[in-house]
Structure 1
């Protein structure tokens, strides 16, 4: 009886440790997330309804900061730049990523080496990427200087210092970094397609291009959706790439909402206006994440 009782006690202790240990391990992360993420989101939301400037004020003032925000020309320039950057960044990354994935899916030689080369830029931070492309695109140091040294004195590529073209330099750098990641997503999707479907289509006489257009690419719709969500999230949160590459300039010609928020909240002493812009950005991120989570949960529920 004594041994039986001690055995039951050990089983109860083991059962309780199995249940409590994961919760104890996750508790610090959970508490930190609540305190340092969600509580600050609520704090920022409240500040956006006040007249806070250099220091926070907590008297509720309604939508005054949002009215000022949408009346600010610089905000609309930043929003326009985000649309240009986001649209081109997403479309080009998806097209190039899909083409590279199809290329690697042909069982070519040195596939592993090429895959590593294509994926390598994703291992770099946006700060490093922005700095590299700032050197490359600088008219006095990079491509333009190189072409002049080679004898092409009429060649000009001054997008980095051209207020009308500066946002497109951000597109170039962003596409260079993120295309490899999109390629990896599509390559995983291609490798997950049943080969028997492709072989059956080949037996029926379908060409390889027709198989990809009619069968394989439509089968990658979940991958397209995932790539769209991830790239949209990256585009909306883009800050470090622009700070390192253009600094938001010339002037504020390459501003996006993230750099607008930082500038007004931390360098111009308009904390309430910066908080309002951050909440608008937060709403845009939610508009992207919620449909993605809904589709994921719905697909898992149907399994």
Structure 2
């Protein structure tokens, strides 16, 4: 039976409270979205434009092309920064994932005290990179920390001078970074291990598979999403590492621990080469995008299936 047009017109519209509940979240989020558009994406576009100018101490808005990018790739410090990023980033990601996976497997054995060990492993992640860098600077300083302690205990031949050794200083950054982020990887892998169906593991055990074979052929392949997420997060953290290096080594000795992030800061704010610093920031942005875009694409593709 068809409804009468008069009855349809007589029906009350949505209540004002329903409309308010629909509009209020948008009103509350609007200032945050506007701030993000201006202070994140707006300044990203501004930095990209500055990289095509001849800005030095102050911004200059005359477009001159790729001159700053060309000058960037003639700087010896830039190549040092890229080399250090390859060393730091590669070791940081691999060692963090190795230590995190090992700790996760150990905790997954339902050992006693897991509730105590888990927060202990995660605690470094709660610290800022400034705190981590400062603490490790004190610990690795030959005149204050490990060296002095070992000498006081009678081990006078002990020598660990990596912090002041130009050839080894970058590895102290790796040590501090791994100490802070390994617990984060452990948490990701532990969540992945706890999400694996126990029936699969029981079936493999009944077929006579050894624990090593179970982890190598079943468990680790099933942790692929956790591995991918860990690589993405750690890569992003490695590329933008600035405060850890500044607090731990200050980029030294010399420029032995220079990274693209410290290079960008020094050329923009201390060497009055804003255009070159902006060009290095653009390269860093492209590197982050090269890591993030394939990951986002794969996630969206899997959700669309």
Whether the TM-score (by the shorter chain) exceeds 0.5 is yes
Deviation, 1:19, is 2.1
In structure 1, the residue matched to 2:294 is: 291
Among 43, 56, 59, the alignment partner of 2:59 is 56
Question: What does the per-residue CA deviation read over 1:151-193, in whole Å, with 9 as the maximum and x for residues that have no partner?
Answer: 1111111110111111000000000000000000000000000
Question: What does the per-residue CA deviation read over 1:255-278, in whole Å, with 9 as the maximum and x for residues that have no partner?
Answer: 000000000101111111110100
In structure 2, the residue matched to 1:214 is: 217
Greater CA drift, 11-20 or 221-230: 11-20
Q: Report the TM-score, using the length of structure 1 for normalisation.
A: 0.96
Distance (whole Å) between structure 2 residues aligned to residue 15 and residue 287 of structure 1: 43
Question: What does the per-residue CA deviation read over 1:22-72, in whole Å, with 9 as the maximum and x for residues that have no partner?
Answer: 211111111000111111111111110111100110111111111110010
Among 223, 230, 234, the alignment partner of 1:231 is 234
Deviation, 1:15, is 3.1
Q: How does 1:1-303 map to 2 (within 5 A)?
A: 8-9=12-13, 11-302=14-305
Secondary structure of the corresponding residue to residue 15 of structure 2: helix
Question: What does the per-residue CA deviation read over 1:109-140, in whole Å, with 9 as the maximum and x for residues that have no partner?
Answer: 01010001000000000000000000000000
Secondary structure of the corresponding residue to residue 8 of structure 1: coil
Question: What does the per-residue CA deviation read over 1:74-122, in whole Å, with 9 as the maximum and x for residues that have no partner?
Answer: 0000010000000000000001100000000000001010001000000
Deviation, 1:6, is 11
Deviation, 1:7, is 8.7
Q: Which runs of 5+ in 1 are unaligned?
A: none
Distance (whole Å) between structure 2 residues aligned to residue 6 and residue 125 of structure 1: 62
Deviation, 1:208, is 1.6
Q: Report the TM-score, using the length of structure 2 for normalisation.
A: 0.95
Distance (whole Å) between structure 2 residues aligned to residue 109 and residue 208 of structure 1: 20
Secondary structure of the corresponding residue to residue 249 of structure 1: coil
Distance (whole Å) between structure 1 residues aligned to residue 21 and residue 297 of structure 2: 31
Q: Please, what is the CA RMSD of the aligned residues? A: 1.4
Which 4+ runs in 1 deviate beyond 6 A? none
Distance (whole Å) between structure 1 residues aligned to residue 112 and residue 258 of structure 2: 43
Q: Which runs of 5+ in 2 are unaligned?
A: 1-8
How many residues align structurally? 298
Distance (whole Å) between structure 2 residues aligned to residue 6 and residue 146 of structure 1: 86
